[in-house]
Structure 1
Amino acid sequence: MGRGKIVIKRIDNSTSRQVTFSKRRNGLLKKARELSILCEAEVGLIVFSSSGRLYDFASSSMKSVIERYKQLKEEHHQLLTPDSEVKEQIFTEEIKELNRKGNLVHQENLELHKKVCEEREVNEANKRSNSLHTISNGYDIHRAIHLQISLHQPQNNEA
């Protein structure tokens, strides 16, 4: 039977928190060491406890790991600066233009919806007024029946 999942939040009990920190810190340091050995990775790990105590691991020297990190971070920043700013500006302008077009389409949609609703209301009103003045023929209630009135002439019995 496996362990249950725990909720990742601050542990309120200070003793339990310290025990958990110690166990997880040791596990993290062990994983960093295994990663460097198994994969020939250059690993540097720095952990400060809540009391300010330092724990660290470096596969070579921590100074060389930090220098390599700074160098790659600087190169990455330089790669992003010249061309990326121009490309980023182009994307930003395209996004603004697409948003503007989207707003226009939305406004057109609202106007069309309003127009359709108004036409529907007019049609319904016309149907109601027409149905008051027509007689149903049993099939189509909107079709008018044309009646002719003829005068009844009395029959003369004398003849």
Structure 2
Amino acid sequence: MVRGKIQMKRIENATSRQVTFSKRRSGLLKKARELSVLCDAEVSVIIFSQKGRVYEYSSSDMQKAIERYSKYIKEVQNDKPEMERYTQQLRLEAANMVRKIELLEVSQRKLLGQGLGLCSVDELHEVESQLERSLRNIRARKGHLLKEQIEQLKAKERFLQEENAKLSEKSGGGQWQLLTQQKEAVTCSGQRSQSSEVETGLFIGLPENRGV
């Protein structure tokens, strides 16, 4: 059977209240011991019952823990004015930031052509001047970027021309070598043809009888 959720209010029955106090007190002190052991924390618990009995637990000396707590409270109280001044300063800075953001939003709407119905002539002139300055800055930035792109394209063009010249040089040298080899081959073939056309008769006998 699932136990229902206990409503957080004073238990009217004295006996039930005492039983609950004993159980919850034991559980609280047990959790305090576990917290001090598991987390290496300095834990001190003081419990006063309805009848004035005192139950306590301290992972160290209780008196030292109380003195340490008292010292901490005094330091907090002494630092309280300084903390209040710091908090007030943060609030003022936050309020100033909110006002600046509102002004920037109004200025942005005006630059977009919105909310101009309540603007005076001077305000409209100021908006116009801001737009002209912005336009000059945009054009200057655009011109700078276009100039960089043109320089990059020129550098790429020079690189391609150099690569093309190198390739043409290599290709031309190979053709000249091929033409030279072909010419030498034709020359050798012609010499062999002329040698084959020379009369190579064999005559045995004295020289004077060759014409007979």
Provide TM-score, normalisation by structure 2.
0.40
Equivalent residue, structure 2, for 1:114: none
1:80-99 to structure 2, matched below 5 A, reads: 80-82=80-82, 84-89=83-88, 91=91
Greater helix fraction, Structure 1 or Structure 2: 2
1:12 alignment partner in structure 2? 12
Q: How does 1:6-155 map to 2 (within 5 A)?
A: 6-82=6-82, 84-89=83-88, 91=91
1:41-84 CA-to-partner distances (Å, cap 9, x unmatched) read 101100000001100000001111111111222222222223x3
The AA in structure 1 aligned to 2:77 is: H
Regions of 4+ moved over 6 Å = none
1 CA distance for matches of 2:80 and 2:15? 46
What root-mean-square deviation, in Å, do the aligned CA atoms of Structure 1 and Structure 2 show?
Answer: 2.2
The C-alpha deviation readout for 1:114-142, integer Å capped at 9, x for no partner, is xxxxxxxxxxxxxxxxxxxxxxxxxxxxx
Structure 1 distance, partners of 2:87, 2:39, is: 36
Structure showing greater radius of gyration is: 2
Please state how far the C-alpha of 1:88 moved relative to its aligned partner. 4.6
Secondary structure, counterpart of 1:77 in structure 2: helix
Q: Distance in 2 between matches of 1:62 and 1:46?
A: 9
**SS of residue paired to 1:81:** helix
User: Structure with the greater relative contact order (CA < 8 A, sep ≥ 6): 1 or 2?
Assistant: 1
Q: Alignment partner of 2:57: what SS? A: strand
What percentage of residue pairs aligned between the two structures are identical? Answer: 55
Unaligned runs of 5+ in 1: 96-159
Q: CA deviation at 1:89?
A: 4.9
Q: Match of 2:5, as an amino acid?
A: K
Count of residues paired in the alignment: 94
Query: What letter matches 2:56 in structure 1?
Result: D
CA distance in 2, matches of 1:46, 1:2: 32
The 2-side partners of 1:2 and 1:41 are apart by 35
Give the secondary-structure state (helix, strand or coil) at the position aligned to 2:3: coil
Structure 2 CA distance, aligned partners of 1:2 and 1:64? Answer: 44
Deviations 1:65-108 (A, max 9, x none): 111111222222222223x333455549x98xxxxxxxxxxxxx
Letter in 1 for 2:19: V
